[in-house]
Every structure is written in C-alpha cells, then in structure tokens.
C-alpha cells in the first residue's frame, strides 16, 4: 500500500470541487476551429482546467509548428535532437524566445476576455523538469504574467475560480526531499492567484481551499490513518508527510502535527522529526518559484 496521491486522483478531486463552484451555465472554452488553421499556421487549442496534456500533445523529432495568437506568430521548432525553441514574434515588438527545453506545449486560456498564452516547457528525462509561462497581449503589448517551475513542480491547470475574469493556476508539487522513493513521495497542491497591486501571481491556497487543496489534504490524512491501521510503515510515512505539506499550504501545519501525534507510530513521528526543517521550508521554497519577468530570452533552467 502506498500513500502517493497520483495526478489522476488529484484531477478527479479538483474536477468535483470545481463542478460545485463554476458559474451556472458556463461551458468549457471550445477548441480552436479548424478554419483558423490557414496559410501554414495552426490555431492554438483552448485549454480549460487540467486539459493541457490532452489538447496539446508534444511535438517530436524535427517537426516545426507555427501558431497564430493575438496577431503574432508562435513558432515551436527543433534546435537539436534533445532541445527545442519557442519564439513569440510580431512585427512591432522584440521577440520573446524560450530555450533549453526538450519540448513546449502551448494552449490558450481566458484572461480578462482575451486569449492568454500558456506554455509548459519540459526538460525530458525521468519526470524532470517542468517550467510554466503565461503571456498576455493586450493593447498590442506582450507581457509575461507568470514563470513557475523547477524539478517536478508545475502548473496542473489554469481556470478562473472566482469569476473575476483572470485564471488561477493550480500547482502540483511532489514532496521529494526525504528518503522515500519517488514512486511513493506524496504530492502537494498550491493555488496561485493574480495580484493586480503587486503585478504578479501570489500563493492563494488558503483562499481557494475548497477548490481542491482541502480534498488533497484530507486524502493524504486518510492515507496516513489507513496505513497506521494496516501497520504499513512506508505508506504511513508518505501519508503523514503528504498531510503535513498540504496542511502547511493551508496554514494548518500545527494542527497536522497534533493529529499525527495521535495517529502515527513513534517510528513515523521520529522519521518526520528528522525532516522537520525541510518540511518547514517546503512552502517558502514553492512560493520562491513564483516569478514574472520582462526578459526577452528565457532559459529552461533559470528562475
């Protein structure tokens, strides 16, 4: 028995929560019509929550593709067998170039009534690494709104959760700082929201607790309890760690520690204590990955 909450389970929990909070009669953004795919350029797919992998399959080999977005071209082209480049270019502005990734997936999300560009870069390899970018083009000005990523942490979905017209970003972040195998390392969920005053995305997990983070926390707590009853030490460690990091994102870390004092073994509690410093640093490390940039050349591995 393991305590890892897989991506599919997270998506199921979020889909259920979002179904209860979506505006009545609001339908998903449709895919770009085939009529947009003219003159050698492709219409970008429209991504709703947790759909990027489905609507934007990766390009492989020497394939290049040009998309049209807000009157500019978005070119995904190979540089080598293991590296691609994404160029966002117009006739009136300096191009923005993303470099150093194995592949780029691109899709549209709604932002204040217009289409924003969501780019997810992957480095290839065994589950590593992700970096997400969100761009808008309003009034003819291309702006970066979000840079997030590092290791396996990445944006799982973008959707307007509070009806203000600007999407929130739901982040998936494995807690991989212990001696647990990657296959059982637990996952945490963070929600980012745009802060107009600061001009950037900020951690808003507590504000959007009902949109999935609470469900993730409860699932990990249930895993920890079930493993405690089953005397499964590895699953108990993973479930307890998952409960702690998700609780920390909701500001409930001390509550979680108190619960674990009762419902875990002395061995598990001792194991957790050995990582207490890393657990305390988990949320600051995640929030430290939230960025925004005016740079025109963005590398996969740079913050």
The candidate with the shortest Cα–Cα distance to 108, out of 162, 166, 32, is 32
Domain containing 272: what range? 7-299
Q: What is the pLDDT of residue 80?
A: 86
Greatest mean pLDDT among 102-106, 120-124, 178-182 lies in 178-182
Kindly write down the DSSP assignment for every residue of 42-54, as one continuous string: EEPPBP-TT-HHH
pTM of the model: 0.81
Residue 109, C-beta contacts closer than 8 angstroms, at least 6 positions apart: 29, 46, 47, 48, 115, 116, 118, 134, 158, 159, 167
Residue 259 lies in a domain: yes
Return mean pLDDT, the chain. Answer: 81
Which of 49-58, 120-129, 260-269: highest mean pLDDT? 260-269
The verdict on residue 1 lying in a domain is no
Considering the domain boundaries, does residue 176 fall inside one?
Answer: yes
pLDDT at 279 over 50: yes
The answer to the question of residue 237 being in a domain is yes
Q: Residue 235: inside a domain, yes or no?
A: yes
pLDDT band at 55 (very low <50, low <70, confident <90, very high): low
Considering the domain boundaries, does residue 2 fall inside one?
no
* Under 8 Å between Cβ of 280 and 177: no
Residue at token pair 């419902």: 263
Per-position b or e across 250-275, b if 16+ CB within 10 A of its CB: bebbeebbebbeebbeeebeebbeeb
| Overall number of domains in the chain | 1
**pLDDT greater at residue 60 or residue 41:** 60
């Amino acid at each position: 028995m393991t305590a890892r909450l897989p991506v599919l389970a997270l998506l199921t929990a979020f889909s259920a929560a979002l179904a209860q909070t979506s505006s009545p009669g609001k339908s998903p953004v449709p895919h770009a019509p085939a009529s947009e795919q003219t003159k050698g350029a492709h219409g970008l797919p429209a991504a709703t929550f947790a759909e990027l992998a489905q609507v934007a399959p990766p390009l492989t080999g020497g394939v290049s593709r040009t998309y049209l977005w807000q009157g500019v071209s978005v070119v995904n082209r190979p540089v080598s067998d293991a590296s691609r480049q994404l160029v966002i270019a117009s006739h009136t502005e300096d191009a923005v170039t993303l470099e150093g990734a194995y592949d780029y997936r691109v899709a549209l999300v709604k932002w204040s009534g217009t289409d924003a560009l969501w780019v997810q870069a992957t480095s290839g390899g065994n589950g590593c690494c992700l970096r997400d970018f969100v761009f808008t083009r309003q009034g003819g000005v291309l702006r970066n709104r979000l840079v997030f990523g590092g290791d396996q942490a990445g944006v799982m979905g973008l959707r307007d959760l509070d009806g203000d017209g600007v999407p929130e970003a739901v982040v998936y972040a494995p807690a991989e700082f212990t001696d647990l195998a990657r296959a059982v390392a637990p996952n945490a969920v963070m929600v980012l929201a745009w802060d107009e005053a600061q001009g950037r995305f900020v951690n808003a997990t507590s504000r959007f607790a009902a949109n999935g983070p609470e469900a993730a926390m409860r699932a990990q707590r249930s895993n920890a309890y079930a493993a405690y009853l089953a005397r499964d030490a590895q699953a108990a460690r993973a479930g307890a760690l998952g409960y702690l990091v998700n609780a920390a994102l909701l500001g409930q870390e001390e509550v979680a520690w108190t619960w674990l004092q009762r419902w875990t073994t002395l061995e598990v509690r001792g194991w957790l204590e050995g990582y207490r410093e890393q657990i305390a640093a988990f949320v600051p490390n995640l929030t430290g990955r939230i960025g925004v940039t005016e740079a025109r050349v963005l590398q996969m591995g740079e913050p």
